[in-house]
């Protein structure tokens, strides 16, 4: 199988928090749909940020698309090939209108304006947002913003998708639409989510971060049941 992204001995610590990732070895291969799970604060977002160079590893190696990546200029290419859906859509949307936001990525990749607009339009259609082109981005609902960010990622025609809690803020219908869209996509993906049912519909592999280590398994977390006295 083609290895798309690989970490070797990847470690990361925050000044006051201490070690979040301790010598993580991980491979993302073509066809993988990885559910990345773990408790709040386990380090899931940190791991995805490291993969695309939004944070710099303290130790270890990152290989992506056939080359080791160390410097910022090497990660620019990684970010062009691995689409990142941020946990908070407001971190991803910054243009006045939806069409401009979705076309920004392709334009930034050097596409001609007409082609970028065409890609943006197709991406909006694919996430069910045809007709949203001229809407003002910051006036959209949380769920609409989420779908616009997905369109903006897809418009860049990425080879890999890194999705940080994509189903947050979606109502039942939008959540199902997202599941259907993601199921049809050919890209390898890593999906962070606390929504096990969402992951059940998408993942073919489960990994779990716990105590700064990555485990290749799925642990069912059974909530503690407590009698509530009213």
Ligand X SMILES: Nc1ncnc2c1ncn2[C@@H]1O[C@H](COP(=O)(O)OP(=O)(O)OP(=O)(O)O)[C@@H](O)[C@H]1O
| End-to-end CA separation in angstroms for the chain | 56
Instruction: Compute and round to an integer the Cα radius of gyration of the chain.
Output: 18
Cβ closer to ligand X: 13 or 205?
Answer: 13
Candidates 7, 37, 46, 92: give the one binding ligand X (CB under 6 A).
46
Nearest CB to ligand X, comparing residues 54 and 107 = 54
Nearer to ligand X, 40 or 172 (CB): 40
Does position 43 interact with ligand X (CB under 6 A)? The reply is yes
- Check if the beta carbon of residue 146 is closer than 8 Å to that of residue 166: yes
**Core vs surface per residue 103-123: b (16+ CB within 10 A) or e:** bbbbbeeebeeeebbebbbeb
Q: Is 39 or 141 the residue whose CB approaches ligand X more closely? A: 39
- Going by C-alpha positions, the residue among 173, 172, 182 that lies closest to residue 83 is 182
Q: Is 14 an interacting residue with respect to ligand X (CB under 6 A)?
A: yes
Distance of closest approach, residue 209 Cβ to ligand X, in angstroms: 6
- Choose the binding region for ligand X from 10-18, 74-82, 97-105, 124-132 (rule: CB under 6 A): 10-18
Contact between 219 and 212 under an 8 Å Cβ cutoff? The reply is no
Instruction: Tell me: does residue 162 bind ligand X (CB under 6 A).
Output: no
Number of residues that bind ligand X (CB under 6 A): 12
Structure-token pair, residue 138: 């910051």
Cα separation, 200 vs 198, whole angstroms: 5
In whole angstroms, how close is the CB of 83 to ligand X at the nearest point? 18
Say whether residue 40 binds ligand X (CB under 6 A). Answer: yes
């977002």: which residue's tokens?
Answer: 45
Taking CB under 6 A as the criterion, the residue among 4, 5, 24, 42 binding ligand X is 42
Strands 3-14 and 18-29: antiparallel
Q: Does 20 bind ligand X (CB under 6 A)?
A: yes
Instruction: Between 43 and 105, name the residue whose CB sits nearer to ligand X.
Output: 43
On whether the CB atoms of residues 160 and 28 are closer than 8 A, the answer is yes
Is residue 204 within the footprint of ligand X (CB under 6 A)?
no
List residues near ligand X by CB under 6 A: 14, 16-17, 20, 38, 40-46
């Amino acid at each position: 199988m083609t290895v798309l992204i690989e970490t070797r001995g990847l470690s990361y610590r925050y000044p006051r928090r201490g070690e979040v990732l301790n010598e993580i070895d991980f491979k993302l291969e073509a066809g993988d749909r990885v559910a990345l799970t773990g408790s709040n604060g386990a380090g899931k977002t940190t791991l995805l940020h490291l993969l695309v160079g939004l944070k710099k590893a303290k130790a270890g190696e990152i290989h992506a698309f056939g080359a080791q990546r160390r410097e910022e200029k090497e990660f620019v290419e990684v970010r062009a090939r691995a689409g990142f859906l941020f946990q908070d859509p407001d971190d991803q949307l910054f243009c006045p209108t939806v069409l401009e936001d979705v076309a920004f990525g392709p334009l930034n990749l050097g596409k001609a304006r007409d082609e970028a607009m065409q890609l943006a339009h197709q991406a909006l259609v694919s996430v069910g947002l045809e007709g949203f082109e001229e809407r003002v981005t910051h006036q959209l609902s949380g769920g609409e913003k989420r779908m616009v960010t997905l369109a903006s990622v897809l418009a860049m025609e990425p080879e890999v998708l890194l999705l940080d809690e994509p189903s947050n803020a979606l109502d039942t219908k939008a959540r199902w639409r997202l599941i259907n869209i993601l199921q049809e996509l050919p890209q390898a993906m890593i999906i962070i989510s606390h929504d096990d049912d969402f992951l059940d519909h998408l993942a073919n592999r489960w990994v779990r971060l716990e105590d700064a280590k990555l485990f290749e398994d799925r642990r069912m977390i059974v909530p503690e049941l407590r009698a509530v006295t009213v």
